[in-house]
Amino acid sequence: MTRIQDDLYMAINGDWQDNTVIPPDKSSIGADRDLSDNIEKQLRADFDALNSGKKSSSDTNLLTAAKLYAKAADFKTRDRLGIEPVLP
């Protein structure tokens, strides 16, 4: 155990730093990262629910965002069409 008077940073953070594993698909971890990941997960679920009709909204901006999300998430169609849609 590091003493505070010898190294304040390691005395406070050393145990966490030595024992915490950053997942290979993440660049960092922490409360902010967890919050961001949870918001993204919820947003995707809400967009899926709007696009499938399980949820409804009168907010046209939200509906447009959900439609754009669906297009961006449709990798099969994107791969099939390639660059053709943007050529004109």
pLDDT one-digit tens code per residue, 9-44: 999 999 999 999 999 998 889 889 999 999 999 999
Please tell me the predicted confidence (pLDDT) of residue 24.
Answer: 94
Query: Rounded CA gap, 36 and 31, in Å?
Result: 9
Mean pLDDT over each residue of the chain, to the nearest integer? 94
Res. 1 pLDDT band, cuts 50 70 90: confident
> Residues 82, 84, 85, 88: is their CA dihedral positive or negative?
positive
pLDDT recorded at residue 80: 95
Q: What is the pLDDT of residue 65?
A: 97
